Structure 1
Amino acid sequence: MNDIIKTILVTGSGTGIGQAVARKFAKAGYNIIILGRRKEPLVEASSILSEIIAEGKFSSKVTYFPGVDVSDLDALVAMFEKIKSEFGHIDIIVNNAGVSGPVKIFTNSSLQEFRDCVSIHLSGTFWTSVKGLDVLEKSGKIITISTFFTEENKFEQRPYRFRTPYTAAQGAKNRLSECLAWELVEQGIQSLATNPGPVHSDRIYKTVYPKAAAEFLRIGGFPGLTNRLIEEIATGLLPYLGDDNAIIETQSREVAKRIVKGNPDLNEDEIQDLSKKLLQKIQEIAEKVQNNTKKMIVDNEFLSQDDVAQMVFNLSDEKTSRLLNGKVIPNDRVFYPVKPIIERKINHDSTKNLDNKVILVTVTTTSQKEIKEIFEFVSSIKKVNTKQLIILTHKNELTDISNDLFKDFHHHNLDLSNEDAVKKVFNTINSRYEKVDSTFHFTGTYDYENEFTSLDPDKWNRMIEEFINIPHLITRESVLSMASPEALDNPDLFKTAKGNIIIIGPQAPIGKKISGVIRARAEVFRGALRPYVTTANQELHDVLNSNINLTLILQGNVNGDPANFEKLRDTLTTLGAQEEFKNNLIYHIDE
């Protein structure tokens, strides 16, 4: 009897959606494997699931693995070895684990916060899926829960303000689910994703909405408090939002004491009073955002966690999963208006050039062809009267070639994933030349012939750095240079900021006959950059009211034609020479 019982593994399943999914499958008689970082919720969830199994008189069982962070590869490998010895195989993997990540303007989150969020959402999904293949049945299924706050179609973007690492990771996660379907089809394994909209949960009510409201106030201001004090008070009091007045009174007094200790000129009673008023305002804004979102839903209701569990259960059905294999299924009902942000053409202005501008070119490519084209581009810039041209190349296998090619330029070869090293360069630029006017960042293109399911940890981590984390770091530091590093504490400085940041992302595949698997691999990291740029732009323009242009260029086209370098060079010059706000977002210049 036991050998025909199906087994499901659900990540991040001690609470919330993950536990709801586990409960749904427990009612269907599945063996349930749950895991998470904290033991206590897993013990409680295990008890609930065991009761469900007992009530249904099933022969199935529940196993939990505490202390397993899905971004910890070693922990996952050890867990799957134990699963193999206990169960032999599993039938379904549900990638659910996630965190809210930093809920703040992208300039104000640390690189480590950004990395951690991407690591849990994207790397956690990747390694759980790939290492799970060792125990997954040949007819098994990988179901990934992502979010509707990213692109549903590569030409339609949904920004999610204050959530840049989250949107970048989720965009890549959707495309990764599609890629896995193509790579695993010959093994009979199916990969699908579902994108729930807003879901009733403590995370959204007690974390995301209140933190977003606090960030709005930090940027917009609150009478009697500096931007720094707003942040400090919000950090101290948000965990107690919704608690009894007595608790708020006690905690607001503690916050006031800490603030006055560092600012003796302030009055403790006044700070406490302002703290309570700030918390009340945060709650008002959070509820307003929540209600406005509900108004965009046909029945004005968020999904329940059980609704999401039902969708996952539906996708696990043999016929349904076969029909939808490789698809990202929307599970939201939000009618979310978006601006048209995709362009194919740009009006080149030959009268504009990069005269008297401080130009920064940053490069992570590992392609000799691409780096030689970049050399041609910077050589053309050198012919005009720039204020300064600075080139930063990433330490990699092309270091010797880079050092030789750019020896006659102001060039540094360094680890562009090292936050301190990058900040040091920008500090030097700011002190010598006041600010960067235009930044061109070349990510390079990865090898689409390499199977994702065969990538080793070093290769995967390097791709995460080169196509997500480094572009973010360069973008963030460029924005702070254009606005002033002091804008971190004084958001009003963003209002007078202007400049141009152009990210040149991975190219589309080249060739006469391009297979579906090649196209799917190519989209994974393009799929991270699109929502990242869209969200960062919304923050720059709609929240900070800056005139900084952030643009993503994606070369190549669906026909598989080679990228047109001359068109790229002219486009970059035009974009880099802009003096006014253009609201450029994403250009497919070869389409």
Structure 2
Amino acid sequence: MLKFQGKVALVTGSGTGIGQAIAKKFIENGASVIILGRRKEPLEETSIMLKEIISKVNSGASVRIFSGVDVSDEFGMNEMFDTLKKENVTVDYVINNAGVSGPVTCFSHASLDEFKSAVEIHLTGTFWGSVQALKVMKENGKIVTISTFFTEERPHEQRPYRFRSPYTAAQGAKNRLVEAMSWELTDKKIISIGTNPGPVHSDRIYKTVYPKAAAEFLRVTGFEDLTPVQVDATNKELFPLLGEDENVVKEGIAKAAQKLAKEMNKDVSKLTVTITNLLNKIQTIAEKVQKNTSHMIADQQFLSQVQVAESVLNLCDDNIAKILNGKVIPGDRVFYPVKPFIGTTTPGVHQPDFTGRSVVFTVDATEKSDAQRVEYLAQHIIKNGGKVACFISESTPKELQEYISSKFHSHIVNIKNPDEVKKWLNTANTNLGSILAVIHITGKLPNISKLVELSRAKWEELVEKFITTPATVGQGALEQFVPGGGNDPRLFKDAKGALMIIGPDLPVGSKVTGMQRAQVEVFRGALRPFTTTVNQELSDVLNSKIRLFTIFPGSVTGIEPKNEKIAQALNFLVTDSALDSSEVTFCVDESRLE
């Protein structure tokens, strides 16, 4: 018998690329496979290939297609697993592979809808697919989740991945979700493992990620006599030309030049030269990025998709899976020299004078201690001469809204709506004066028995609370600090401002369980790479003096967080001294990193 004969593997995003390679490797080893994806044609082509292999190995396996299934679509995923359950299909291996590149641009320029979509596919798709798969899994089943090495942190390090903020946020959370599921599925004897394969040869990297990253560098600076907006519009015309033959490229450039000539009222022939140069520059930078990445690998080789597939099948081995349950196997072959982005207590500074400056709080409180934290920090600012505005989320419990409002002037606002955030930040700036900092309080993670037992709606509330709402507030704050900067990144140069995200806290108590900590880490795991990525863009790409900082209260020992340490962090983060610090995420109550 072949190793996986008689077993069934379900692979998401399996019509092309790594997913297809994984499905093929399972088939070669005797397993039946269930393949799914959004597009029917690639799945059908893959099915034909897989059935030919079945005939050769004579395994008696089968191939099942579910086309038009987007992993982020709740009802499509529900229907697929309900169908399998009705047919008494048992799935032995679930491989969470589906993904998209997401927007490849500075966070300040990214569409929030695209941001949310990338998170829905990578993170929510993985979560909900795993939860629904439990309907058709039995003891000794394995869930293997593929993520990225860019989001794996070391004690003092967190890799940034500029222009990929939603991707890194979702993938970082996914890594920690792997660990949380290993705790939560122990009673079902189902194993959860993650793998971060590192750079892999794929069309997505060569035709999408690297070229779009190169194009973003050119948008930030402008190119020749084109403004950032014109570069951005032209880049969208050029991307479909990558990899095409010479005649197609020339024709595409001519169309782009004609379109731009009408808008700019300029000579077509000159613009044709400019656009040709732009395309060549994009290709040159993309190739340079690829080359630089390869030089950070010992053998200077990206992995093949087949090698990734082999590693996934190894993780499905019974003995190896038991050893590695709950682990994220970094596959980290890339040595990126990174700065120590994660720190503990901030450096002590002389108490800043907040006179004439305003600080805006956006609050999504969960319990009274969150409201008391807002009160403490606001009084700290007011005591030192500053002014405070507080915008409380509509989702904050009413009693907490009333508590905060009784302490100082506040407004109940839909901080999940970007237009509302911008409107109220403008109001604060008009009524109170120049905004020194925006402080977003995420609130604590609500008490949860198990994440895998949550409804889809409850899960989405958590993602919104801890990932997309901080992003919405963050983008609103950047627009306040640099009006129009999203479209014209040149405006960011030397602009000042501070944005702080506070939370979620680690659980408190002498008997905190590993499961409780793992649940909180899912969302802290999103904010670490998000913070690091956005800061690299703000400092190294946009040359601004704006910083995004994240404060994680609490300790692995379960001690009560100290609000005075957060106040000390605020004192430091609004000074120029913070601009010279590479640390942007602070675990202020921890001592284990010192």
Distance 1:433 1:382 in 2: 12
Distance 1:353 1:535 in 2: 30
In structure 2, the residue matched to 1:539 is 537
Distance 1:414 1:451 in 2: 30
Gaps of 5+ in 1: none
Helix, strand or coil for the counterpart of 1:486?
coil
Distance 1:561 1:404, change over 3 A: closer
1:588 aligns with 2:584: no
1:209 aligns with 2:210: yes
In structure 1, the residue matched to 2:519 is 521
Residue 552 of structure 1 and its aligned partner are, at CA, apart by: 1.0
1:67-216 alignment to 2 at 5 Å? 67-153=68-154, 155-216=156-217
2:287 partner letter: E
Distance 2:545 2:134 in 1: 48
In structure 1, the residue matched to 2:338 is 338
1:506 aligns with 2:498: no
Distance 1:313 1:325 in 2: 14
1:358 aligns with 2:358: yes
In structure 1, the residue matched to 2:10 is 9
Question: TM-score, normalized by length of structure 1?
Answer: 0.96
In structure 2, the residue matched to 1:405 is 404
1:343 partner letter: G
1:57-72 alignment to 2 at 5 Å? 57-72=58-73
Distance 2:464 2:494 in 1: 31
Q: Is the 8 A contact 1:448 1:522 kept in 2?
A: no
In structure 1, the residue matched to 2:463 is 464
In structure 1, the residue matched to 2:296 is 296
Aligned length: 588
Distance 1:333 1:4 in 2: 32
Residue 429 of structure 1 and its aligned partner are, at CA, apart by: 4.2
1:439 aligns with 2:438: yes
Distance 1:460 1:345 in 2: 32
In structure 2, the residue matched to 1:310 is 310
Q: Is the 8 A contact 2:418 2:473 kept in 1?
A: no
Helix, strand or coil for the counterpart of 2:269?
helix
Helix, strand or coil for the counterpart of 1:496?
coil
Q: Is the 8 A contact 1:549 1:582 kept in 2?
A: no
Distance 1:237 1:434 in 2: 44
Helix, strand or coil for the counterpart of 2:445?
coil
Q: Is the 8 A contact 2:499 2:547 kept in 1?
A: yes
CA RMSD of aligned residues (A): 1.9
1:254-269 alignment to 2 at 5 Å? 254-263=255-264, 265-269=265-269
Residue 155 of structure 1 and its aligned partner are, at CA, apart by: 4.0
Distance 1:301 1:81 in 2: 42
2:26 partner letter: F
Structure 2 residue aligned with 1:548, among 539, 546, 549?
546
2:527 partner letter: L
Residue 449 of structure 1 and its aligned partner are, at CA, apart by: 4.0
1:506 partner letter: P
Distance 1:499 1:442 in 2: 17
Q: Is the 8 A contact 2:156 2:343 kept in 1?
A: no
Q: Which moved more, 1:511-520 or 1:312-321?
A: 511-520
Helix, strand or coil for the counterpart of 1:65?
strand
Residue 573 of structure 1 and its aligned partner are, at CA, apart by: 3.7
In structure 2, the residue matched to 1:47 is 48
Distance 1:472 1:97 in 2: 23
Helix, strand or coil for the counterpart of 2:435?
coil
In structure 1, the residue matched to 2:321 is 321
Distance 2:54 2:145 in 1: 25
Q: Is the 8 A contact 2:376 2:563 kept in 1?
A: no
Query: What does the per-residue CA deviation read over 1:234-289, in whole Å, with 9 as the maximum and x for residues that have no partner?
Result: 111112112112111111122222223333x2222222221111001000000000
1:191 partner letter: S
Distance 2:461 2:377 in 1: 26
Distance 1:586 1:558, change over 3 A: same
Q: Is the 8 A contact 1:118 1:168 kept in 2?
A: yes
Q: Which moved more, 1:307-316 or 1:362-371?
A: 362-371
Distance 1:35 1:289 in 2: 32
1:270 aligns with 2:270: yes
Distance 1:63 1:580 in 2: 55
Distance 1:87 1:315 in 2: 25
Distance 2:448 2:229 in 1: 49
Distance 2:289 2:133 in 1: 39
User: What's the % identity of the aligned pairs?
Assistant: 45
In structure 2, the residue matched to 1:572 is 570
